[in-house]
Amino acid sequence: MSRPHLELADVFDALGPDFLEADTQSLSCEQRAALRDIVQCRSATLGGHVEQCNQCGHQQIAYNSCRNRHCPKCQAAARSQWMQERAVELLPVEYFHVVFTVPEQLGALALQNKRVIYGLLFKAASQTLLEIAADHKHLGALIGFLAVLHTWGQALQLHPHLHCVIPGGGLSVDHLRWVSCREGFFLPVKVLSRLFRGKFLAYLSDANKQGRLVFHGRLEHLSKSGQFASLLHEVSKGRVGGLCQAAIWRTRTSFKISGALYTSSSYIQPTVGRTRKRTSDLQMERLC
């Protein structure tokens, strides 16, 4: 297969040094290592070996892969194998895709407090799902799910959000039977949004009172008395916890996700392929 005209490694190689020189604090050690590995992947820097045809004697050099799990070139086979292994673990039920988002006003704060903010995002989202699902007015079951953090949007803008993949049902309170949700409907979006909003902002307020948040640069004013509370109050009136749901359908060869089944007009985070009418727009592996 011929080499693409432009690869991610080319972009990192051309612009990476200037970016690192201009911004020395935003990347972690792991992120810097991933950037370096992607640039060096399948190049002479990592060494290689010579392959030779036994009949004509033709030789070609094969350079070694970096084997970094974030590299788009050398981990494709491993990702495909992982998907096949996970397929065996799926239950024979309808699955749902739920997205929780952090409001735009808190994006810069998340950059300066990654561990705290993203930890609270996971905590608020998981508790919201578990509590609403356990309520007998809705599902009345103990559910399980996986959650994947994305910190950037498709246009590479700062956009922290959490993708949750959830079976359409759960165990009864006595753990003796399976409780299924209605076909095509998991949990009410508005109820999820309100509870998530309250939990997330309350956790942020507590974290600030405990001195777990730091404010640098243009956020320094938030360290003054009352400023952070004013920010949370402003955010609480806006679109906090953008939320949408879509069903995931299982096929023999892959997993596909439909467009959003139902959304709240006040709290909405668009889903890829959402405007299409077909129920097989987005492959499951796009979530991983």
User: Chunked in runs of 10, what are the mean pLDDT values of the chain (288 residues)?
Assistant: 68 80 76 83 81 86 79 73 80 86 85 92 94 91 92 80 89 90 83 88 91 89 86 75 58 52 40 34 32
pLDDT of residue 87: 79
Q: What is the DSSP string of the chain?
A: -PPPSS-HHHHHHHHHHHHHHH-SSSS-HHHHHHHHHHHHTTSGGG-EEEEE-TTT--EEEEEPP---TT-TTTSHHHHHHHHHHHHHHS-SS-EEEEEEE--GGGHHHHHHSHHHHHHHHHHHHHHHHHHHHHSTTTT-SB---EEEEEEE-TTS-EEEEEEEEEESEEE-TTSSSEEEPPTT--S-HHHHHHHHHHHHHHHHHHHHHTT-----GGGGGGGSTTHHHHHHHHHHTS--S-EEEEEEEE-SS-EEEEEEEEE-SSS--PPTTTT--SS--EEGGGG-
Rounded CA separation 242/232 (Å): 16
pLDDT of residue 18: 81
pLDDT of residue 171: 92
pLDDT of residue 286: 32
**Residue-range domain boundaries for the chain:** 8-74, 83-287
Residue among 66, 181, 72, 203 at smallest CA distance from 135? 181
pLDDT of residue 73: 76
